[in-house]
Amino acid sequence: MKTLKWNSALILLVIMFLLPVINCFGNETLDTGIDDARYNKAIHIMAMLIAGFGFLMVFVKKYGRSALTATFLLVAISLPAYMLFNNFFFFPKIHNEIERLILAEFAGASLLIAAGAVLGRLKMPQYLALGLMFVFFYMVNEWIVVLGGLNIIAKGSVVDTGGSIVIHAFGAIFGLGVALTMTTKDEHKKTIQTDSTSDRYSMLGSMILWIFWPSFCAALVPAEAVPHTVVNVVLALCGSTLATYIVSVSLRGKINIADIANAALAGGVAIGSTCDSASYSFAIVIGILAGTLSTFGFAVIQAKQQKLLKLVDTCGVTNLHGLPGIFGGLAALPIVKGISMGSQFIGILITIGIALISGFLTGKILALFGRKKEAYEDAEEFMDAED
């Protein structure tokens, strides 16, 4: 077992070492224009990836060190991987350095969503392998749905500025695909433990995501569209936050802090597709509906899903990113003038298809690396981690 782990890790190191050497030939063609507005958004997104997603996943009481380490590793593998694959494979080359960084961060965000579905049940090197495979499939989907790859959908005809479909829904459904292959009976029975400290860490992650979400959605919109986009995202998040509280206490009798930490963000997920085109009224309505849908998912659907599909979705990414992502993609239909209904539907269907199949495949491959013995616990892999 240990040997296999080491082999995989060393191979990774060699890959990371060799590919940039190949990559360097392509460097010089990059446009290095001054791009300060986008630079700041790139840093904001980095805060979301690392501290946002990282701490949101710390809600698992005994798995905090692992969740944070895995977040570091997933970011550290996905950003160079996206840049290298863009240079190396058949994807259309990106010629602006900051734009490429931001697109790589989008892939990292989607990966962190996918990893959330199986959090606590992968060994560390498996997160790395997941990252490498995920980024490739993510780029294939992005290429087909957004960039007109294979000429299935006309380039630019899917409305998805802030990535409700290709970032959020893709990541969540890919994660479900992985979870389908690797949930054991023990994991199915095991309750995920939280306490007040892990809950507060999780709220920290959620808040960091909330704060910087406008930069995520506005990162690549034209400068003149940034203000309206930003206010739309803020209003959608306000809507989902209010709706989450009301629906949570309504369905459960008391507030569930995990609902707040997660579903409050559903407005950001769902406004993605139309963040630059919705009116303020639509933005806040989308937020309210997304928060309602997501909280309903956590409170009602999740238990049924686990029973029916015999899987565990550790972080509930189906409810935070899957359903609100697809809802956001569909919400573009009544909102955006001149939208191609066909493209939008096909784009969503292709995303679901590629995510599910490639996630399932990835899960099968990850299974070759063995299994974590004790789910949701640091102590198996970390020194001095019994407390």
Window 163-202: residues binding its own copies (CB under 8 A)? 194-197, 199-201
Residue number, 27 or 184, with CB nearest to its own copies: 27
d(CA 135, CA 72) in angstroms, rounded, equals 16
Distance between CA atoms of residues 283 and 295, nearest Å: 18
> Looking at 96-104, 324-332, 340-348, 364-372, which segment touches its own copies (CB under 8 A)?
96-104
Q: Do residues 332 and 158 make contact, with C-beta atoms less than 8 angstroms apart?
A: no
Q: Choose which of 4, 150, 152, 255 interacts with its own copies (CB under 8 A).
A: 255
Q: Report the C-alpha gap between 257 and 197 in whole angstroms.
A: 12
Q: Report how far apart, in Å, the C-alpha atoms of 81 and of each of 117, 166, 303, 319 are.
A: 21, 18, 35, 28
CB of 21 to its own copies, least distance (A): 5
Residues 348-387 that bind its own copies (CB under 8 A): 378, 381-385, 387
- Cα 44 vs. chain centroid, distance in angstroms? 16
How near is the Cβ of 234 to its own copies at its closest, in Å? 6
**Near its own copies in 274-313, by CB under 8 A:** 279-281, 283-285, 288
Binding mask 53-82 for its own copies (x = CB under 8 A): -xx--x---x-xx--xx--xx-xxx-xx--
Shortest distance, position 339 Cβ to its own copies, whole Å: 19
Residues counted in the chain: 387
Asked if residue 202 lies in contact with residue 225, where contact means CB atoms within 8 angstroms, the answer is: no
- The b/e string for 306-337 (b: 16+ C-beta within 10 A; e otherwise) is eeeeebbbbbbbbbbbbbbbbbbbbbbeebbe
33/156 with CB nearer its own copies: 33
Closer to its own copies by CB, 39 or 143: give it: 39
Q: Whole-angstrom Cα distance, residue 204 to residue 220? A: 26
Choosing from 132, 220, 249, 335, the residue that interacts with its own copies (CB under 8 A) is: 249
Query: In this structure, is the dihedral angle defined by the CA atoms of residues 235, 237, 240 and 244, taken in order, positive or negative?
Result: negative
CB of 143 to its own copies, least distance (A): 22
Among 4, 43, 154, 303, indicate the residue that binds its own copies (CB under 8 A).
Answer: 43
The minimum distance between CB 250 and its own copies, in angstroms, equals 7
| Residues sharing a CB contact under 8 Å with residue 364, sequence separation 6 or more, in sequence order | 181
Number of residues that bind its own copies (CB under 8 A): 109
CB of 346 to its own copies, least distance (A): 31
Nearest approach, Cβ of residue 145 and its own copies (Å): 26
Nearer to its own copies, 61 or 168 (CB): 61
Give the number of other CB atoms < 10 A from CB of residue 102.
Answer: 22
Distance of alpha carbon 142 from alpha carbon 136, whole angstroms: 10
**With CB under 8 A as the contact rule, which of the stretches 247-255, 324-332, 342-350, 354-362 interacts with its own copies?**
247-255
Site membership for its own copies, residue 161 (CB under 8 A): no
Any contact of residue 109 with its own copies (CB under 8 A)? Answer: no
Residue 130 sits in the site that holds its own copies (CB under 8 A): no
Residue 251 near its own copies by CB under 8 A: no
DSSP code string of 259-309 = HHHHHTTHHHHHHTTTTTTS-HHHHHHHHHHHHHHHHHIIIIIHHHHHHHH
**Would you say 184 or 197 has its CB closer to its own copies?**
197
Give the per-residue contact string, 212-241, with its own copies (x = CB under 8 A; - = no). x-xx-------xxxxxx-xx--xx-xxx-x
